[in-house]
Every structure is written in C-alpha cells, then in structure tokens.
Structure 1
Amino acid sequence: MSYVISCIDGASRNTAVSDYSAWAAKQLAAPVMLLHVLDELKSQATTELSGNIGLGTREHLLEQLADLDAQRAKVALEHGHVMLQLAEDKLHKLGVTEVVQRQRHGELAENLRALEGDVRLAVLGLHGEASANTLQQVGSQLETVIRTVHRPLLLTPDTYSEPGSAMLAFDGSKTTQKGVEMLAQSPLFKGMPIHVVMVDADTANNWDKLKWAEQVLQAAGHEVVLALRAGEVEATLHQYQTEHNIDLMVMGAFGHSRIRQFLVGSTTMAMLKESRTPTLVLR
C-alpha cells in the first residue's frame, strides 16, 4: 500500500507536518503512516576512566553509564509513542480515517529509503528537532534525505496554510519535463493554478519548452501561467513566488547545471532556509 509518510519528531513544528500530511492524504485519497525515528543513543558522558582510578571503580562507572543509556532509551521510546499517538489523534480530527504508526531506530534517511516501496509522498518539517529554535537553520538530516530518498518529498514550514496555487521551477530538461507530467497526473494539485517559471535567457527555444509544459498542464485541466526570467536562480524564484503570492514551490531534485547546482549543492540549503512556504521536491 502507498502511504503519505508523516515524519514526526520532538520539534514544536510538528503541528504543521501533521496538517500538511492530512491535506496531502485527503488530496491523494491515501492513508497516512506516522514515522518516528529514534537516533541510536550515544553516551553523553566523556569522563576519562583511566589514570589513577582503580579497576573496580572503572567497572562500576561503566555499569552506571550503561544503566543510564538504558534509561534514556526507554524514555525516548515512550516519548516517541506519545508523540505518535498525539499526531494520530490530530489526523483523525482533521478527517484522515486510516493512520498507522511506525517507530524505528537509526537514521531518518535510511529508514525512508527502506520504506520507499510504501511511500507515495514523504512529509518532513524544514526545521528538525535540533533546529527547532533557529528559524533559518534547516533540519540537519534534510539534505541527506533529499540526496538519498527517491520519492517525492514535501518539506513544510513552521505553520500551516492550505495550498491553493503552485509554482514549478522549470529548466526544460527531460527531468523537469517529467516533473510537468507528474504535476499533470497528480491529484495533489487538482484545481490549482500552476506557474511554470524558467530562469534563463529569453529565447524562442526556451519559450517553446515552456509552451510544451503549458499544453500538458492545460490538458489536465490546470490554469497555467508561464514566466521566463533572467537572474540568479535562487533569488529570482523567490522573488517571483513572493510577487504572485504562490503557496507551494515545486522543483526536481535534478536538472541541468543551473538548477542542479542549487538542488544538490550548498545552495540547496540556502534556498530552503529562506523558504516560508512548503516545497515539493520531485524525484
């Protein structure tokens, strides 16, 4: 079964993750899998247990550290169950009828990769638990997830607003053409006007590529707006989104050089740090 995977952690921003997960589940008519991943706990004690401390004392301290780690693991597990149940209760209130819970150990990216066969869409907060108090610090695991998980990712801001319009960052490559086809076929965007924006030279060839995208989306029933602008990719896309009050940014994880540079390089995180709206990354 294909799920909307809602990635839950201890950050206060989980309210938005749950809301966007509910919206996506209803749009896609899909069940939700709530996923909470427990990082492998590492002992936080750095005490040097050598020197003049006797063997018996060292053994005693090591036993205490092991007991402490076990207690931390138990508390983290129980806390995870509480968060998952609260999230499930909220999803039911938002009208999602089918919800399952999963709690796993390890790293988020490796767990999402293992679940890829069941993932229709993964929903993650832009700010993870470690960056919950820092507005422009993107979640530390997010870049790894973007690079390794080959399913669509909906990256959510801190607060929820139901999307009513979308914008596709388009470069005319085969990859972003596939993105156009995915948008046209997906019920996630049903009824939405879609802006297709290319940041490149104003040439007849580029306009031909944009008009192809327009035809595909219009055939699927979308209102379409085309734009071809010059400038730096990151700043130009943000400016266009702000000017037109667009709710949802859509981009492919790979494209030609200009788009690829900010999607898989250091500029990816810079772009996401400035985002105040959800971003859908297509793979």
Structure 2
Amino acid sequence: MTEQVMAAIDGSTFSEGVCDYAAWASLALQAPLTFLHVNDNHPQTAEADLSGNIGLGAREHLLEELSHLDEQRAKVAQEQGRLMLKAARERAIEDGVTEPGTRQRNGTLVETLEELVDEIRLLVIGKRGEGAHQASDHLGSNLERVVRTLHRPILMVSDTYKTPEKVMLAFDGSKTTRKGVEILAKSPLFDGIPVHVVIVGAETGDNRSQLDWALKMLRDAGHVAEGAIRAGEVETTLCGYQAEQGIDLLVMGAYGHSRIRHLLVGSTTTTMLRKANGPVLLLR
C-alpha cells in the first residue's frame, strides 16, 4: 500500500491553504496526493427537539418532515463535498501535481483518519474547520482530536500559502525531538531549505552538546543548519525567534517528555499551535 499525502478539506477558509501546502508537500516528497472530504451526518440535537409537546399525529408528521429534511441536507452536503474535491483536485493540478486523488466518506473525521492511517505518510489539515469562529485564535475541535489520535506527521496550515524558505525545529534533546532531527535529516520535504534548531534553556555544556549533535546530523545529511540556545519562557522565546528570523514553518515533536510537551497536552491545546500565523509540522 503506497503511503500518500492526505489533505482534509471542508468549507472553511483554510481549505485553499490546505490545497496549496498539500501540493507542495506531495511534490517535495514525490508522494501521491489524495484530498479527503468527510460528511458528518450526525443529527443535530437542536432539531430533534422541535416536536415539543404537540399532539401525537402532528408530532409524527413533523418527525417525518424532519427526516425528509435530514435526507435532503445529506444529499446537499454530499454534493457540496464532491464540488469541493473537484475544485481541490483542479487547484493541485495547477500547482503541478500529477493525478491527485479524491475520497469522500461519511462519518467523523477522526474515525475516518483512523481507518486510513496505514495509507497516510503526511496529513495536511487546516487550523480550524468550517464550524469554528474565524476570528478565534482557538484550534478547531477536529484538529485537537486528530493531533491526539493520529500517530502520523501532521502539517497544520494557515489559510494563505507561502512557500517555506526557512524552517525552525523546537529542540530540547528529548527522545521525541531527537527523533524529529533524524526525520528532518532524512526527509526530502525540506531539501534546500535552511533549518534553524532552537533550544530554550540555559547555555550549559549539555545543551551545547545536544545542539551540536542536531546540527551535525542535519549538515551531514546535506542541510544548511543554524542553531541557537535562548533563555526564557518556552512559548515566548520560540515565537520571538520565529519572528526575528522570518521563519516560515515551525517543526515540533508532539508528546515528548519535555518542557515542550506541556505545550501540547492539557485542557487547552498548545499555545504555539493556536497562535501560529504560519504552518506547524507535528512529528510523532
């Protein structure tokens, strides 16, 4: 089974960014691209209560009407999804992708991705879905569940595409982030793109040794790599470095046993993900 770049699209403003970043990743990885649209046809609770305390006959009639409306709504959603997939495919072809595929499923996004996990090399998904408030800095609930569930690299993207020219890896020497360095070193995704490795902490011998290891690993693989050790609070320091250096894409290890781990778990999802203006690649 060929692993592919899979891009989840919906009716949100992030779908165009998803299309373009997915096309970029597909071409860089030389991997097939498939666009996925999932129709969540779960009944809406607000509509289920419309029958109220009315007469039995009228109630049965109303329930029949609601059932008919649900069927019509499902058909419309399916057709909308088909048209979105068609538009995404055409956009990817314009971006240079050969024969991108499309898939449409019924159910929930998380369950669908779990079923397709063996086919996924990289998942590309928008920061929020069509049901989220566009002015919010919160992540969409779908993305939160996907990040917690899917053990595959996830590229969370913004609504506007910009070809990555500088990449930053948040590094702390943990097993997860060391694995991240190894993945970056071997992956063609960032060929020709300078990689900045940043440790947030004190200038200690151990931190310097960890940073030197990461830079050597990347440089031996042919990457242009720079490193920095910065003291301060993790989130603020990483955001500051990203702005200072004009970093286009942030790479983080998800669920490492580290200070960075605390940005990715808890009642709210990582502030780094919420506040990111550009794409974030989460490595598992």
TM-score of the superposed pair, with normalisation by structure 2: 0.95
1:106 aligns with 2:101: no
**Aligned equivalents of 1:50, 1:29: Cα separation in 2:** 56
**Residue in 1 aligned with 2:27?**
26
Deviation at 1:200, TM superposition (A): 1.6
Read off the aligned partner of 1:12 and give its amino acid letter: T
Q: What does residue range 176-215 of structure 1 map to in structure 2 within 5 Å? A: 176-215=177-216
Q: Any idea what SS the aligned residue of 1:264 has?
A: coil
**CA offset at residue 269 of structure 1?**
3.7
Amino acid at match of 2:79: E
Matching of residue 173 in structure 1 with residue 151 in structure 2: no
Q: Aligned partners of 1:93 and 1:201: how far apart in 2?
A: 47
Cα deviation 1:108-130 (Å, max 9, x = unaligned): 12211211111111101112112
Per the TM alignment, residue 50 of structure 1 is displaced from its structure 2 partner at its CA by: 5.2
Structure 1 unaligned residues grouped into runs of 5+: none
CA contact (8 A) 2:172 2:258 kept: no
Q: Verify the 8 A CA contact 1:37 1:106 in the aligned structure 2.
A: yes
SS of the residue 2:269 aligns to? helix
Percent identity between matched residues is 52
Give 2:39's aligned residue: 38
What is the identity, as a one-letter code, of the residue corresponding to 2:122? L
Name the residue aligned to 1:10: 11
Deviations along 1:154-195, one digit per CA (max 9) or x if unpaired, are 010111100011110101011111110000000001011111
| 2:150 match | 149
Alignment of 1:38-77 (within 5 A): 38-43=39-44, 44-47=46-49, 49=51, 51=53, 53-77=54-78
Larger deviation, residues 24-33 vs 258-267: 258-267
1:250 and 1:280 in contact (8 A); partners too: yes
1:65 is matched by which residue type in structure 2?
L
Contact 2:170/2:252, CA 8 A, preserved across alignment: yes
Say which is worse superposed, 42-51 or 25-34, in terms of deviation: 42-51
TM-score normalised by structure 1 residue count: 0.96
- What RMSD over aligned residues (CA atoms) do the two structures have, in Å? 1.4
CA deviation after TM superposition for structure 1 residue 17, in Å:
0.7
Give structure 1 regions of 4+ aligned residues with deviation exceeding 4 angstroms.
none
> How many Å separate the matches in 2 of 1:99 and 1:123?
14
Preserved contact between residue 126 and residue 156 of structure 2 (Cα < 8 Å): yes
CA contact (8 A) 1:143 1:269 kept: no
Q: What corresponds to 2:242 in structure 1?
A: 241
Q: Deviation per CA, 1:41-73: give whole Å up to 9, x if none.
A: 31442445353x322111111111110110100
AA of the residue aligned to 2:171:
F
Partner residue, 1:222: 223
Q: Give the length in aligned residue pairs.
A: 282
